[in-house]
Amino acid sequence: MAIVTGASRGIGAHVADALEQGGYAVERGSRSTAPVTDRGAVEAWVAEVVGRHGHVDLLVNNAGVIDAEVPLADSDPDQWWETVEVNVRGPYLMTRAVLPHLTPGTGRIVNINSGAAYRNAGVATAYNVSKGALARLTSQLGLGEDRAALVFDLAPGVVRTDMTESMVMHRGRTEWTSPGEVTELLLAIAAGDLDAWSGRLVRAGLDTPSSLSARASAGLGELDRTLGLIPWGDDDPLT
């Protein structure tokens, strides 16, 4: 069975629908079900889900928000911090609650992330900071011999949703990532076809299951598709 947060609309709804069509029992989270920033509500909901199903095969941390597209000096402190809480505290609380109940060896966690985690930008700084933090959470849990679980960052590209259509940076956009490109990667991850990418980012619209499998077969470096420090060269003391 699968848990999908933020599944009442947008990407979360597409993901939940695709999983159901793929044969999964899906529990759809929303603000009315369990606000992801509320520890008590999250723990109670996950306990209820586990009580019905006995285990969790897949957690998709999709719930997320974006702050106003203004420079940090013009941002609203309450909105800024709420964005960080939803986008970081939410996945943390959900992951913490679900980890003990993941199917041993095959349970997977997918964090819906963004290219904003890897780029410098002068506006919507809370969103950018929060997605960078989420990328670090993914790699810390999903990389290495002692990894906690199979954990993946899935960047959906720019899917046409209420959130993206409201954003200044996407005004006039004519090319969008299709929901099918997102769910194709999600289902491949869920099926175990991309386990070599645990701890790393995959991006819908640019990556495909076949291209990612081919790249993994050629070998992945320790820092490939992760968020990390780029040294200035071989003589950098931080290498």
Catalytic (active site) residue 118: no
Q: Which two tokens stand for residue 180?
A: 């099918």
CB 234 within 8 A of CB 208: no
Fill in the amino acid letter for 12.
Answer: G
65: left (phi over 0), alpha (psi -120 to 50) or beta: beta
- 3-state class of 112 per DSSP? strand
Q: Which two tokens stand for residue 189?
A: 């991850």
CB 212 within 8 A of CB 197: yes
Residue 183, exposed/middle/buried by CB under 10 A (0-12, 13-18, 19+)?
buried
Residue from 184, 179, 222, 228 nearest 202 by CA: 184
How far from 77 is each of 38, 119, 122, 148, 155, CA to CA, in Å?
Answer: 20, 22, 16, 34, 26
Catalytic (active site) residue 92: no
User: Dihedral sign, CA of 201, 121, 160, 133?
Assistant: positive
Q: Which of 24, 92, 118, 131 is catalytic?
A: 131
Q: Which of 24, 92, 118, 127 is catalytic?
A: 127
Active site residues: 127, 131
